[in-house]
Amino acid sequence: MRVTVVGCSGSFAGPRSAASCYLVQADDGEGRTWNVVLDLGSGAFGPLQAVVDPFDLDAVLLSHLHPDHVADITGLYVYRRYHPSRSGGVHTTQAPLAVWGPAGTCDRTVAMGASDSARELSGTFAFATWSPGTPVVIGPLRIEPFQVNHPVPAYAMRISGPSEAGPTRAVVLTYSGDTDLCAGLRQAAADADVLLCEAAFVEGRDDGIEGLHLTGMRAGTVARDAGVARLLLTHIPPWNDRGIAVREARAVFGGPVAEVEAGQVVAF
CB of 12 to Zn ion, least distance (A): 9
CB of 200 to Zn ion, least distance (A): 7
In this chain, which of 1, 13, 66, 226 binds Zn ion, going by CB under 5 A? Answer: 66
Where does this chain touch Zn ion (CB under 5 A) — which range of 50-58, 114-122, 166-174, 175-183? 175-183
Whichever of 25 and 63 has its CB closer to Zn ion, that residue is 63
- Looking at residues 132 to 171 of the shown chain, list those that interact with Zn ion (rule: CB under 5 A): none
How many of the chain's residues bind Zn ion (CB under 5 A)? 3
Whichever of 66 and 186 has its CB closer to Zn ion, that residue is 66
CB of 168 to Zn ion, least distance (A): 36
Answer yes or no whether residue 68 interacts with Zn ion by CB under 5 A: yes
- Round to whole Å and give the CA distance between 76 and 89: 17
Strand pairing report for 194-198 and 231-234:
parallel
Cβ–Cβ under 8 Å, residues 6 and 19: no
- Round to whole Å and give the CA distance between 203 and 129: 34
In this chain, which of 39, 72, 144, 178 binds Zn ion, going by CB under 5 A? Answer: 178
End-to-end Cα, the chain, rounded Å: 6
Whichever of 66 and 218 has its CB closer to Zn ion, that residue is 66
Whichever of 72 and 178 has its CB closer to Zn ion, that residue is 178
CA angle (85 as vertex; 80, 86 as ends), nearest 5: 40
CB of 21 to Zn ion, least distance (A): 11
Where does this chain touch Zn ion (CB under 5 A) — which range of 65-73, 85-93, 125-133, 158-166? 65-73
Q: How many CB atoms lie within 10 A of CB 259?
A: 20
Whichever of 78 and 112 has its CB closer to Zn ion, that residue is 112
- Round to whole Å and give the CA distance between 16 and 18: 7
Answer yes or no whether residue 72 interacts with Zn ion by CB under 5 A: no
CB of 199 to Zn ion, least distance (A): 11
- Round to whole Å and give the CA distance between 21 and 9: 9
- Looking at residues 217 to 256 of the shown chain, list those that interact with Zn ion (rule: CB under 5 A): none
Whichever of 80 and 150 has its CB closer to Zn ion, that residue is 150
| Residues at the contact surface with Zn ion, assessed by CB under 5 A | 66, 68, 178
